[in-house]
Structure 1
Amino acid sequence: MIYELRRYTMRPGRRDTLISLFEREFIEAQEATGMRVTGSFREAGEPDTFPWLRAFPDMPSRRASLEAFYGGPVWLTHRDEANATMIDSDDVLLLHPVGPEPPSWERPPVGAGEPPPSLYVATIYHVEDGFAGFFAREVAPALAEAGVPPVACLETEHAENTYPRLPVRTGENVFVWFARFDTPEEEREVELPMLKSRLTAAPVRLRLRPTARSAMR
């Protein structure tokens, strides 16, 4: 599978406008082209961002699905409304799974009310090649012992972006792992001293509250 972790910068106060439009119009329209909208989130403490995750079977199908959706009637009808809510949509990591893939539940229908109480934390490491094996051997067991097992692990997909209309971040090598907590009150960080010599930049933590129709719940 190929994943995109997308993090939009919103115009102040417009995030919920986009989420409402996204959940009403864009989820089924994207999935009808063969992609999977895996998760959509409000980022805790960052009211003007909209992170979300989508998946494709492979790079050729990614191109075909993106061409079908962004050239199709739903996007063409609603793109101006969507684009009016955003300042930037180019913060995109192209990734593939290593180890477990992101979890998924049955998606609630259009018009679903309250979002689930859970919290996901996506931790982004900038790393050298070969980090995934080190993480599996040394980091994942320590996290599991501390009660924070990774529920998904992804790393940079270096294939050429064959749909350049939508840019992705290049020149980076990242490893992303997700933890899930039933409620934000259960969130905790784990000290991982073995990482100190392995990271090429400071880690980034995204604290993600699923939206009402997120498949990651």
Structure 2
Amino acid sequence: MILEIRTYRLKPGTGEEFVRVMREESVPLLEAAGIRVVDCGASLVAEDGHEEAYLIRAFASLDEHRDQEAAFYAGEAWRRGPREAIVSRIDSSHSIVVEVPEETAAVLGRGR
């Protein structure tokens, strides 16, 4: 199993709305596109005074990650949906992709 962990450094004062849009609009679209969302939310600490958030997604393979992500971000549902509300609040982002046992994704997703 492949886990992608994305972190977002947000523009000041946008964290609460970013997380709301992520949870209520973006995550349902990701899941409808077949992308498994393990968890998302706000960071418990702010670095350098910036609000931060995260998104953890799971994929069966690197190829699935590449293909599903490309299809999702090129799709009308994302582009005409929450894209602007998400992207406009991000100062910067960073992603790492790691290989983990399936159990890791299951444990991480229990609180969701």
Indicate if the aligned counterparts of 1:35 and 1:57 stay in contact, CA closer than 8 A: no
Pick from 96, 99, 107: which aligns with 1:96? 99
Please, which of 72, 76, 81 is the counterpart of residue 73 of structure 1? 76
Aligned to 1:15: 15
**Tell me, which stretches of 5 or more residues in structure 2 are unaligned?**
none
Structure 1: gaps of 5 or more residues: 104-150, 153-214
AA aligned opposite 1:41: G
The C-alpha deviation readout for 1:26-83, integer Å capped at 9, x for no partner, is: 1121122222010112211226000120011111211221122101122101322211
Match of 1:83 in 2: 87
Normalised by the length of structure 2, the TM-score is: 0.83
SS of structure 1 residue aligned to 2:26: helix
Alpha-carbon distance in 2 for matches of 1:99, 1:36: 12
Q: Give the TM-score taking structure 1 as reference length.
A: 0.45
Higher relative contact order (Cα pairs below 8 Å, separated by 6+ residues): 2
Distance 2:31 2:10 in 1: 24
Whether the 8 Å contact between 2:37 and 2:58 is mirrored in structure 1 is yes
User: Residues 92 and 99 from structure 1, CA distance in 2 versus in 1: closer, same or farther, beyond 3 angstroms?
Assistant: same
Tell whether the 8 Å contact from 2:3 to 2:105 is kept in structure 1 after alignment.
no
Could you list the runs of 4 or more consecutive aligned residues of structure 1 that deviate by over 2 angstroms after TM superposition?
none
Amino acid at match of 2:58: A
Tell whether the 8 Å contact from 1:25 to 1:74 is kept in structure 2 after alignment. no
Counterpart of 1:26, as a letter, is S
Aligned-residue RMSD, C-alpha: 1.9
Q: Which amino acid aligns with 1:80?
A: E
- Separation in 2, partners of 1:39, 1:99: 15
Structure 1 match to 2:53:
50
Shift of 1:6: 0.7
State the percentage of identical aligned residues: 23
Structure number with higher helix proportion: 2
